[in-house]
Each structure stands twice: as structure tokens, then as C-alpha cells.
Structure 1
Amino acid sequence: MQAFLQSRITHWVTVPLAVAALFGAGYWVKGDTLVNNAQATAPVSAKTMTAPSAYITLPNFASIANSQGAAVVNISVTGTVKTAGIPGVDPNDPMFELFRRFQPNLPQTETPMNGLGSGFIVKSDGVVLTNAHVVDKADVVTVKLSDKREFQAKVVGVDKLTDVAVLKIDAKDLPTVNIGSTKNSNVGDWVVAIGSPFGFENTVTAGIISAKSRALPDEGYVPFLQTDVAINPGNSGGPLFNLNGEVIGINSQIYSRSGGYQGLSFAIPIDVAMNIEQQLLETGKVSRGRLGIGVQAINQDLATSFGLKSPSGALVSNIEKNGPADKAGLEPGDVIVSFNGQSIDRSSDLPPMVASVKPGSTVNIEVWRNKQLKKLSVRVAEMQTAQAGPAALPDSQQPSLGVSVRPLTSQELAQTQLKQGLLVEEVAKGPAAAAGIQPGDVILAVNGDQVKSVAQLRDELSKNGKNVALLVMRGESKIYVPVKIG
């Protein structure tokens, strides 16, 4: 080991800057020996020491940890998940796989579920941001503050497409994080994460931004920040800070073959997350723009075929008939090179750009067609998706149904010939499940009062006591279902 250290030090003598960066001001090299302040007895002459021409200093993350750590929270969840099982047969038993193959419709059993995550306070009255996957399928969500106080949280809303969830706890005058912007961040910038990896609360790790606008499989609506910050299970939902102490992202995913950190972590840009938070708080759902096209990446061969100077842009492979793009005059084979004034370098750049546009807005696009640029205007429609802002309602502090609902889309309203209603997407263990409410039901009214928004449903539940009558549309029938909230 000593010989290894000696050889390393000898090499570092020839690179003074590396010595300063690695060991700091408390060490220097004397000949080929590492010396610290405590061992030094006499000044080192210029003949035996190569003086560095400059010093490299690392940033001090203590101020960020001290000023922002109080607004970072630990989140624990409990619930049940339904899994296929065979009574008396261990799922790890080889016989289980045999039964599963020949009996695909195995009975569903409920298995207890516990999870840990992180989050951060964005409003002093108790609004907390975290990942949607942290609170997914949770019956009870508990938020623990840095001062050890614990609160059962209400899930205001979740957006699975961006993996953002908004929680609310019953507290006031809480510390909050400083919100920044991803737009002001650059590749190579230092960043700091605070969270609860493996349950170790308020753990601080640091690294740099490795890349921006990363597209991940099945995550087409988020231009992720890639970092090399150490992120592990339990960090999910925690904040990513810049050196100004501003949150620029929500730590969400890692790339790993082992399940643990391997140098690649990804964060949701805070600009995306705050837009989701605002929509969920104001309307209970998330609206996204839609063009009605399918696109694919451009490689060098395609670029040559289309006469492009470089393999950039989004190649239109198919167009929805009578959709926004069709009405605007786009054609298969067009290459979209800019959208709303922003250039398209990769095809993965386009979906988040379109999704961020308010439905109904008209934007300008540039396409490459027949080796010429062509300008078009398109009126962006609203994305119709079952994941457009489902808002979960489990809440131990207020009356709760234990369901996940969302407003009907315009297409669903037309199909059902309704003017308003809330579609039940998921039913957790609770009052609604006990009363027979099912996924696919449409809640029309509470005790005779019509409901058309998630917020209105909460208000009606709060003011109507422990017993309510829900008017529900199931199939083509409308029925009243009595629910005892308790």
C-alpha cells in the first residue's frame, strides 16, 4: 500500500493543481512524501517543493444543507396491493410458476405494502411536492418534518406522466425551499441532493449535471436532468439544489443493474413540476397539448435522403385524421425542425414541448418538406388520456371516499351525453369500496348537488357529514349509492 501511495504522490508532484484539489490547503508534497501541517517542523525550500501557480477550491455545501434542509421531509406510506396467489403455496416455490402458467386467472390476494420516499415543502401552509410513484396505491401517507413532527397527508393530486404528486399537511408557518429554474442550469454545474436514502433522513449528496433534456423509455413528457449525484431508494421525491440553494429538480429515477446507485441519476426539471403543481391545486387535473402525430428519430441515412444538413428534427411518420396537425396541413414525411420558436434537435424534444402548450393555443412550426423550409400554424388540441391528472382523495383528516377520480374529458362527455361528472379510476380499501363503488363509475352528484371538479367533490363530502348518497352512472344506468364515510 505504501509503495502504491508513493507512486501516486510522485505522479501528483508533476501536476501541482491536482494536489491542491485532492488534498486541500492542509497538505503539500515534500519530495515524494505527503506532509500535513501537524508533521511540518520547518519551511520547505523552493528546491524541494513545486509551488502551485493557482489553487482549486471545491464548493462548500454546508450553507445549502443548513438553510434548506429544514424544508425537506421524509415520507412513509402504507397500503395494500393486489397480487395473484394460491392459498398455501409460497410465490417463491417453483410449483407456483407451474400453477400460474396453467391457471392464468388466479385469485387476487391483498398484500401489505410499505414504502419510503422524500419530498419538500413549497408553501408554508403545508403544500409538499414528491414523486407520484412514492404515494402510488398508498392508503396512508405520513410526512415527517426535520423537527420530528409527523402529519398524515392528503394527496391533493398526482400526475403519473410526469411522476409528480402534490401533498397537503395540516400545518402553518413551515420552512419552504427556494424555487429556481432549470433554464439557468448548465451541464457541469454542481448540484446537491437532500433526501432519505434507505430511511436515513436529511442525507446530503453532491455531484454535477451530466446532461440536460434526457429522454427515458416510457417517459416522453419529461426532459430529465441527468446527474451523477448519489441517489438511492428513499431519495425519490427529494429536491435537487443548485449552488444558490434553489431547487432545480425532483430526484426521480436511477439507471442501475443492481438496484442501487451506479452513477446515473435523473431528476424532473422544477419548471415542469411547478406547472403540474399549479394545475393540480387549481383544477385538480393536468391539461396537455396534443398535435395528433407520430414521430421518429432522424439518423444520418434519413437526413441524407431528405436533404438535411444534419440528423436533427422530428420525422412525422403518421398523422391522425382530422387531428390538429392534419387540419394545419402537416404531411407524413415532414421533418419538424422548430416548434413555437424552439429548435428541435432530437425527436424526443417535441413531445414535452407540445404537452406544455395550453390546449386551444395556436403556435407556429417549421417543417422541412421537399428540401425546403415551410412555415405552418397549428391549433393545439387537448390530450385525451386516462392519466391526465387523476387526483387521489385518501385523507385521514377530512371525510374521504378512498377513490381516485378525474373530470370526464370532452370526448367522454360526448359519448355519455353528460354535461359533467367525475370518472372513478381506482378504488382503494375504504368507504367507497365497502359501498360497492367500482372503477368506471361516474360520480354525478353528492346528496343531490351536482359535482364537476375534484375540489367540489371534497367540499361536498366535508359539509355533508358521515353519510352521503352518491348519484352514480354505471353503464347506461344511474343509481344512488349510500356511503358511510365514518
Structure 2
Amino acid sequence: MISSKPETFSWRQLTQYALIAVISAGLTLSAIWAFPQTLLPPRLTVSSINAAVQPPPQPQTATPVDSPQSFVTSAVQRVGTAVVRIDTERVVTNPGINPFFDDPFFREFFGGGVPQNPQEYRQRGEGSGLIIESNGLILTNAHVVSGADTVTVTLKDGRQFTGKVRGMDEPSDLAVVKIEGRDLPVAPLGDSSQLKVGDWAIAVGNPLGLDNTVTLGIISTLNRSSAQVGIPDKRLDFIQTDAAINPGNSGGPLLNERGEVIGINTAIRADAQGIGFAIPINKAKAIKDKLARGEQIPHPYIGVRLFTLTPEIAQQINSDPNGAILVPEMNGVLIEQVMPNSPAATAGIRRGDVIFQVDGKPITTAEQLQDAVEQSQINQPLNMQVKRGEQTVEISVRPGNLQDAL
């Protein structure tokens, strides 16, 4: 006989399985409710589907941005049309025949090949200048137009004019030329007393015939004396710059970063590079109107050659066994030479004197004495304290007019 298990056992297993299934489903639903972002897949949207099918982004090309205009460009544009080229010409005549060849014997000896007439040739020069008034007044260097028979002025736009020298002052190396023009561009004049070492300096001119040349540098130093520059016959102090200045730049403007004229380019040191000099524009502003009227510029002088004396220099002079004089070991200005018939000679200044005070102000350098004389009045006394050997004497010197002595 075949027997079977009770039926109640099977129902108990089914009940257990069903209970396990219910508990598992409850735990799953609880976990989904507590952590939906983690357990559920992200919800698909139209935008996400579009993003999925879009191609990868392409690299974008940057839109070009115009670089700002440099201050040099702005400065040159402001003054460039007022800078002119100046060409000069003069006829130079060689001396006539040497009297030595007037003797018939020597004329026959040389076969009659001795030239009979003076030889003439044309000497040409070039420089720069700047228009300072719209009616055609031009400021330049005196040495650019000195002795010229003809002066030709060329504007930046190519127009040419015949220039006439209105006035010229050799000691300050400044001149004013006039052309017949109207509504011409004018260069703005700055203030050279505001300059500082390290400021920008822009030189504009026509060096070596290369028109409209611009060079950039800085103000290297101020108040460089004419003796230090190498032109002791001038009566002013210079601006020194490392902006390139070459022959043909003379008379052209030296600009600041705003395009204002701060100097007139004048000289270079031939034995060095990067050393150029300009006349401060305030000096030009002080005399330009007088030059335009053809007036003479007075320059007081006393007529001495001098140099700065220090105790160390005095010791060197006194230690020379062949020295002609003994000088006091002090700070001051040593008189090296007194010009005959000069104001200094008339007043009694002697070689070997040491000037250490003028009108109550201490004098320790040659530049200080030159400035004191330059600022004085012609024929008005300058009271000088002078050391002469062991003695101190007071001498009154009345400066004369330098132009009268030339």
C-alpha cells in the first residue's frame, strides 16, 4: 500500500514562501522611497535626448580685438604734420690766387697752370624745424640756417616754401624762420620745467635726409652744461636723452608722451652712442617772439675762462713743481684766463683768482658762476668775493653784452 504525507505540511511551506515574498517587496519599496536618485534610472526628457544625439562641441575661434594705440603713435600724430624739413644752400668762395704765384718767374715755372680766378662751390645742409604759429613761423637751430643764402622748407604733405630767417641767436643756438603760409598745423609747446629723469622722450625729424623719422628713448639727465656737452660757447643747459639723434635731426622737436614739445634737438656726442642733447623748450619760448621780430638777444658776459676748483684739484695744481701759480685749497671757481679789454679785466680780475661768492650767494662750481652772469643785467654791477693768495678781496664787475665782443 502506498502511503502519503499529511496535506497540512504543504500549506505551511506555501505560507512561509508567501510571507518572505511580501517582506522582500516591502523592503525594496522602502529603499526606493528613501533613495530614489540612487536606485532609479535618470528620467529621460526631450532635451536630454537631443543632447545625447548632438555632435561634440567644436573649438571656437576667438574674435580678434584691436590692440590699443601706443602713446608714441598718438604723440607723433598730434605733432607730426607740424615738423618740417629745412634744406639750406650757400655759395662758398675759395681765396684767390696766392700772391706767391703773382711773380712771373713762378708762373712760368709752373707752366701757366696756376688758377687765376677764385673758385666757388655750393655748400648744402639739411635740418629740421617745427611750426609754432599757423602763419608760418618755424623754430629751428641757429646752426641749421647760419650763413645760408637760400632756405627751403618742406612740409610733411610735400609742399615746399622759401624760408626767410627772421632772427638768430648763436649763444642759445636758436633761430626763427618765416614761410608764407596760412592755417598751417602748429606743434603744441610743453613745459620743460616739469621734466623728470626717466620720462619718455620721442625725437622727430629728418636725420640723414630720411624724412619723418621717429625714435624713442627717455630723459637721461637734466641741466647738462654746455661745457659738459662739448660746446662751451653756448649759453644754456641741455636735456640729455638716449633717443637716437643724428645729423639732420637738428632743429626738430623732442616730445613727451603726450605729444608736447619739450625740447629742440641740437647735438650729439660723436665719441659715444645713445647720448643726444636738446635745448629745453622753455628757453625757446622765452626768446622766440624777440627772434621773430628780428631783435637781438642780450647775453651778459665778463670775459674769463674758468673751471671748478676743489681742495683736491688745488693740491694737484700746487704739487706741480713747474706750476706758475699757487691756488688756495678751497671750493670755488678758478680763473684760468682773463680776456683783454673785457669787463673782468677792467674790474681787476686776475688769473689765479678764486671766486667763491656772487651777490652774497655761495659759488662752488663753474656752472653756478655762469648762471649768475647769465641772469645778471648788462652794465649792472655783480659783487664778487675773491680769494687771491692769502687775501680775500671784493670786486665789482659790470657785465658787457656778449654780441658786442664777438
User: Which TM bucket (shorter chain)?
Assistant: 0.5 to 0.7
Distance 1:231 1:135 in 2: 18
Q: CA deviation at 1:205?
A: 1.0
How many percent identity over aligned positions?
Answer: 40
Q: Deviations for 1:401-437, whole angstroms, at most 9, x for unmatched residues?
A: xxxxxxxxxxxxxxxxxxxxxxxxxxxxxxxxxxxxx
2:275 aligned with 1:264: yes
Q: CA deviation at 1:127?
A: 1.2
Structure 1 counterpart of 2:153? 143
Distance 2:298 2:281 in 1: 18
2:333 pairs, out of 314, 319, 322, with 314
Distance 1:140 1:364 in 2: 46
SS at match of 2:285: helix
Distance 1:152 1:62 in 2: 30
2:265 pairs, out of 251, 255, 276, with 251
SS at match of 1:297: strand
SS at match of 1:234: coil
Cα distance change on mapping 1:76 and 1:188 into 2, 3 Å: same
SS at match of 2:185: coil
Structure 1 counterpart of 2:135? 125
Structure 2 unpaired stretches of 5+: 1-61, 63-69, 98-109, 316-326
Cα distance change on mapping 1:112 and 1:241 into 2, 3 Å: same
SS at match of 1:336: strand
Structure 1 counterpart of 2:230? 217
Letter in 2 for 1:240: L
Cα distance change on mapping 1:290 and 1:137 into 2, 3 Å: closer
2:299 aligned with 1:288: yes
8 Å contact kept, 1:224–1:267:
yes
Distance 1:282 1:354 in 2: 25
Structure 2 counterpart of 1:74? 85
Cα distance change on mapping 1:283 and 1:196 into 2, 3 Å: closer
Structure 1 counterpart of 2:176? 166
Cα distance change on mapping 1:67 and 1:372 into 2, 3 Å: farther
Cα distance change on mapping 1:359 and 1:108 into 2, 3 Å: same
2:162 pairs, out of 134, 152, 158, with 152
2:195 aligned with 1:185: yes
Letter in 2 for 1:235: N
Cα distance change on mapping 1:236 and 1:276 into 2, 3 Å: same
2:402 aligned with 1:383: yes
Cα distance change on mapping 1:380 and 1:85 into 2, 3 Å: closer
Cα distance change on mapping 1:333 and 1:106 into 2, 3 Å: farther
Cα distance change on mapping 1:265 and 1:360 into 2, 3 Å: same
Cα distance change on mapping 1:188 and 1:169 into 2, 3 Å: same
Distance 2:191 2:395 in 1: 30
Cα distance change on mapping 1:194 and 1:219 into 2, 3 Å: same
Structure with higher Rg: it is: 2
Distance 1:106 1:166 in 2: 40
Distance 1:246 1:379 in 2: 39
Structure 1 counterpart of 2:208? 198
Q: Deviations for 1:257-301, whole angstroms, at most 9, x for unmatched residues?
A: 5xxx82221222333333443333345323210224332332543
2:239 aligned with 1:228: no
Greater per-residue helix proportion: 2
- Greater mean alpha carbon deviation, residues 195-204 or residues 375-384: 375-384
8 Å contact kept, 1:117–1:233:
yes
Distance 1:157 1:163 in 2: 11
Distance 1:192 1:366 in 2: 44
Structure 1 counterpart of 2:75? 64
Structure 1 unpaired stretches of 5+: 1-40, 42-58, 87-98, 388-486
8 Å contact kept, 1:213–1:349:
no
Instruction: Give the aligned CA root-mean-square deviation in angstroms.
Output: 3.7
Greater relative CO (CA pairs within 8 A, separation 6+): 2
Q: CA deviation at 1:181?
A: 3.9
8 Å contact kept, 2:344–2:397:
yes
Q: CA deviation at 1:163?
A: 2.3
Letter in 2 for 1:122: I
Q: CA deviation at 1:156?
A: 1.0
Q: Deviations for 1:348-397, whole angstroms, at most 9, x for unmatched residues?
A: 4533552454423445555566789887764432224465xxxxxxxxxx
Letter in 1 for 2:285: M
Q: CA deviation at 1:241?
A: 1.9
